[in-house]
Amino acid sequence: MPLHFTFHVLHLTTILKDPKGTAQPSAHGVDSLRSPSSNGKDPSMAIPQEILKERIRKVIGKMTEKGFEALVVYSTGSSLGTTSRTHGYMRYLLDWDSRNGFSVLILWPDEEPTLFVSNPAYQRFAQEIFWFPDIRLASPERLGGALVSLLRPRLSPGWEVGIIGRIETPFPVYDALLQGLPGVSLVEANSILDELRIIKEPLAIAYHRRAAELCDEMFQTFGREVRRGKKAFQLQADVEHTARYAGCEHASTFLTIAPVIDRARHYKAENQRVPQPGDQVLLAVFLSYEGHWGHAIRVGTLGEPNRAQRRAFDIALEMEEAALAQVKPGMDLAEVWKASARVLAQHFPKGIDPQWFWLRTGHGLGLDYSDPILTDVFRFPYEWSGEGKETETRRDSSIPIQPGMLLELHPNVFIPHEAAGAIGDMVLVTEKGYEILNQFPRALIHW
């Protein structure tokens, strides 16, 4: 029986649990997980500094094993939202957000870290909260020279320095390191941190639970406002305000309202429509709460759905159920997206125009919207060839599913000139299988 849901404003109360089901503080009280600082620094950081120090100790240990004399970590701030591929590195090491600027952390085997920031106000705040004193200010134009001035006296030709975050490091900065450190090898070292971030700690899971709860509240806000004569972009503002008012440093959406949904719509100019009876509605919500990402997708209709709208949703839900059936410890992670692809191939043996079918089935979720390593396993639709096989000959990376992994699964189908179906959930791998963190009904919503 297809699953459909008539919307009512829901009061959702979620109990935080770890993967083994142990009760933790209410999601609304997740701030109570903060620990007072034992060194006189500001206690407002989400992650206790003893945890951060332990993470840095682990990274320095791995850095030493690889023979690096120093580690340079470049990170963008949260203002890049879903597009950043480096913000999570600084969040993991320091729980630090450089917002609309950059930050660079230098780690040494036997010394306290050095942190570079781009804004005097950020420097003052960092000096108030961190346990180490060496926090320096550098403009974007002078950052490369400042890094060279710090590193060159301590390095010798033939030594190696690990580089993390090169993908977003500005060319002038990287070029300054190349030219200013003659004889020193710069070695990409993302894997040092990527591997440590695969399994979420209990505290991180608690924050992701809160992020999932806020996603649910964003859907509730949309349900309250959708029939009040507002334009789509105004509804987006209402939904995003819900997350920002709750303390999220990032909140965004895409919203499509039309008789036939064709794609994601982000801009005010393309979101002028006032919802009408018969419209299909696709709402995706994105947020970062204390650096921990939340994401979910729901689709529904204003009034009773027609046959095409029901069919599209039912296919998407079937794709998600097939993917979820593969989420078991010990299974190969690639089988998750392949299960969804096989369902799609059964319904559309000849495939679908890729201009309409555009979201991959899922990705890793964590301190970046697309967390490293796990995200790379999931293929884009244009890489699919019937029965869940890839069009390329490259061999899949084999990654066994483990408890503590966090995935975002959002299978979707866009049927040209008919309808679209999509559903997206945060999925935590547990000892026995999985847990869906979002509590908002997994149904075709009657808004």
- What CATH number should be reported for the domain holding residue 416? 3.90.230.10
In the predicted structure, residue 357 carries a pLDDT above the cut 90 = no
Residues 189 and 264 occupy one common structural domain = no
Mean pLDDT confidence for 7-24: 36
Q: Quick one: pLDDT at residue 394?
A: 46
Query: Does residue 262 contact residue 306 with C-beta atoms inside 8 Å?
Result: no
Asked if residue 206 belongs to a domain, the reply is yes
Helix spans in 229-329 (H): 232-245, 307-324
DSSP β-ladder status, 292-301 and 444-446: parallel
Residue 299, C-beta contacts closer than 8 angstroms, at least 6 positions apart: 261, 280, 281, 282, 283, 313, 316, 420, 421, 422, 423, 444, 445
Residues 431 and 332 occupy one common structural domain = yes
Among candidates 152, 295, 302, 316, which has minimal Cα distance to 215? 295
Q: Which of 196, 212, 229 is the last residue of a domain?
A: 196
Helix spans in 17-167 (H): 49-65, 87-94, 120-129, 143-151
What share of the chain has pLDDT > 70, as a percent? 86
In the predicted structure, residue 279 carries a pLDDT above the cut 90 = yes
What residues make up the domain containing 170?
A: 34-196
Q: Quick one: pLDDT at residue 387?
A: 45
Mean pLDDT confidence for 318-332: 98
Residues 100 and 139 occupy one common structural domain = yes
pLDDT tens-digit map of 120-148: 999 999 999 999 999 999 999 999 999 99
Residues 140 and 118 occupy one common structural domain = yes
Please give the span between the terminal C-alpha atoms of the chain, in angstroms, as a whole number: 20
Asked if residue 28 belongs to a domain, the reply is no
Mean pLDDT confidence for 109-122: 96
pLDDT tens-digit map of 64-81: 999 999 999 999 999 999
Reduced to 3 states, what is the DSSP secondary structure of residue 28? helix
Q: Quick one: pLDDT at residue 354?
A: 66
Asked if residue 79 belongs to a domain, the reply is yes
What share of the chain has pLDDT > 90, as a percent? 81
Residues 257 and 322 occupy one common structural domain = yes
Four-residue CA torsion sign, 263, 265, 270, 275: positive
DSSP β-ladder status, 160-164 and 68-76: parallel
**Tokens 């204390």 found at:** 290
Q: Quick one: pLDDT at residue 243?
A: 98
Tell me how crowded residue 398 is: count the other CB atoms within 10 A of its CB. Answer: 9
In the predicted structure, residue 21 carries a pLDDT above the cut 60 = no
In the predicted structure, residue 6 carries a pLDDT above the cut 60 = no
Asked if residue 26 belongs to a domain, the reply is no
Asked if residue 120 belongs to a domain, the reply is yes
Q: Quick one: pLDDT at residue 383?
A: 73
Q: Between 249 and 23, where is the model more confident?
A: 249
Q: Between 181 and 44, where is the model more confident?
A: 181
Mean pLDDT confidence for 239-243: 98
Residues 91 and 173 occupy one common structural domain = yes
Report the CATH number that the domain containing residue 60 is assigned in CATH. 3.40.350.10
Q: Quick one: pLDDT at residue 15?
A: 33
Asked if residue 27 belongs to a domain, the reply is no
pLDDT tens-digit map of 26-40: 444 455 445 434 444
Residues 306 and 182 occupy one common structural domain = no
Residues 171 and 204 occupy one common structural domain = no
Work out how many domains the chain is built from and give that number. 2
Confidence band, pLDDT 50/70/90 cuts, at residue 350: confident
CA distance 34 to 307: 50
Q: Which of 196, 216, 238 is the last residue of a domain?
A: 196
Residues 238 and 266 occupy one common structural domain = yes
Confidence band, pLDDT 50/70/90 cuts, at residue 157: very high
Q: Quick one: pLDDT at residue 397?
A: 65
Asked if residue 210 belongs to a domain, the reply is yes
Q: Which of 170, 196, 222 is the last residue of a domain?
A: 196
Residues 322 and 245 occupy one common structural domain = yes
Q: Quick one: pLDDT at residue 358?
A: 73
Residues 272 and 260 occupy one common structural domain = yes
In the predicted structure, residue 355 carries a pLDDT above the cut 70 = no
Residues 215 and 142 occupy one common structural domain = no
